[in-house]
């Protein structure tokens, strides 16, 4: 039995010890926003925040999140309003197929939480664990820049 809070909602679940946090979110809680890409913790499509810190949920066990707070892509929008990072990805074209996007926006949110005014080099450094095969990354950098500018405004 584990207890975890996901996007502000408390859950109590019985899961097998080998259950990954990603599978727990997707299949036990129906939160399919987080995706499995590589399955080995290198592509970032499964990125969630655990007590505010980025982790790859495909290589974390669900039990590891016991008594902790998880934020997924579904938890970023407030009252039906997109998070500024999400809105910036739409406006600046920071995605195409969208499969890596939940991980990208979760990582970008964590970046702006830690550093509201990142340089391009800092954006690249922080986002290096989120692969994207569609965009070539230029518009992801642009989206994060736009989100940061808007938060400052």
Partner 1 sequence: MAHRIVGQPVGKLEGLGKVSGQARYSGDVTLPGLVWGKALRSPLPHARILRIDTSRARDLAGVLAVLTAQDLPNILVGRRMFDMPMLARDRVRFIGEKVAVVAAVDPDIAEEALALIDVEYEDLPAVFDPIEALQADAPILHENPAAYEGAPAERPHPNVQSVLRFKLGDVEAGFREADRILEHTFRTQLDHQGYLEPHAGVVAIDDAGRVQVWASNKMPFRLKELLSQALRLPPEQIRVNLTPIGGDFGGKGSLMDLPLAYHLARVTGRPVKMLMRYAEELMAGNPRHPSVITMQTGVRKDGRILARRVKALFNSGAYAAFKPAPSVNLGGTGMGAGVYRIPNLLIEAFCVYSNNIPCGHARSPGEPQMVFAGESHMDMIARELGLDPADLRRRNLLRDGDHLANGHHLEHVRASDTLEAALKASHWAEPKAGSWIGRGMAMTHRHIGVGFTNARLRLETSGAVTLSIALPDTGTGAHLVLRQVVAEVLGLSLDEVEIELANTDDFTTDSGVGGSRVTHTGGRAAYHAAEKLKAQIEAEATKHGIPPGALAAIARAAAKDGRTLEASHFYDAKAHAAVTSFTAQVAEVAVDPATGQVTVRHFTTAHDVGTIINPIGHQGQIEGGLIQGLGFALMEEMKTEDGRISTLSLGDFKLPTIQDIPPLTTVILQDPVGPGPFNAKAIGEGSISAVAPAVANAVADACGVRILDLPITAEKVFFALREKVAR
Binding site for partner 1 (CB under 8 A): 16, 18, 23, 26-27, 30-40, 42-43, 45, 72-74, 76-77, 82, 86-87, 89-102, 105, 123-125, 127-128, 130-141
Phi/psi-derived region of residue 59, left when phi > 0, alpha when psi is between -120 and 50, beta in every other case: alpha
Alpha carbon dihedral 67, 71, 74, 75, in 10-degree steps, equals 100
Residue 17 or residue 67: which is nearer to partner 1 going by CB? Answer: 17
Closest separation in Å from C-beta 54 to partner 1: 15
Closest separation in Å from C-beta 4 to partner 1: 18
Residue 65 or residue 123: which is nearer to partner 1 going by CB? Answer: 123
Closest separation in Å from C-beta 83 to partner 1: 8
14: Cα separation from own chain's centroid: 24
Residue 4 or residue 33: which is nearer to partner 1 going by CB? Answer: 33
Closest separation in Å from C-beta 62 to partner 1: 12
Residue 67 to residue 11: CA distance in whole angstroms: 10
Task: Name the residue among 28, 51, 48, 18 with its Cα closest to residue 36.
Answer: 48
Residue 110 to residue 64: CA distance in whole angstroms: 20
Residue 43 or residue 60: which is nearer to partner 1 going by CB? Answer: 43
């Amino acid at each position: 039995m584990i207890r975890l809070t996901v996007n502000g909602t408390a859950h109590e679940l019985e899961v097998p010890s080998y259950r990954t946090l990603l599978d727990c979110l997707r299949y036990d809680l129906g939160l399919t926003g987080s995706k499995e890409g590589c399955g080995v913790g290198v592509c970032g499509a499964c990125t969630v925040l655990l007590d505010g810190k980025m982790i790859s949920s495909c290589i974390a066990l669900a039990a590891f999140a016991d008594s902790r707070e998880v934020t997924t892509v579904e938890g970023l929008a407030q009252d039906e309003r997109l998070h500024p990072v999400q809105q910036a990805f739409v406006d600046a074209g920071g995605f195409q197929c969208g499969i890596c996007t939940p991980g990208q926006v979760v990582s970008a949110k964590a970046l702006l939480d830690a550093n509201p005014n990142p340089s391009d080099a800092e954006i690249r450094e922080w986002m290096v664990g989120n692969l994207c095969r569609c965009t070539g990354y230029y518009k992801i950098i642009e989206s994060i820049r736009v989100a940061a500018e808007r938060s400052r405004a």
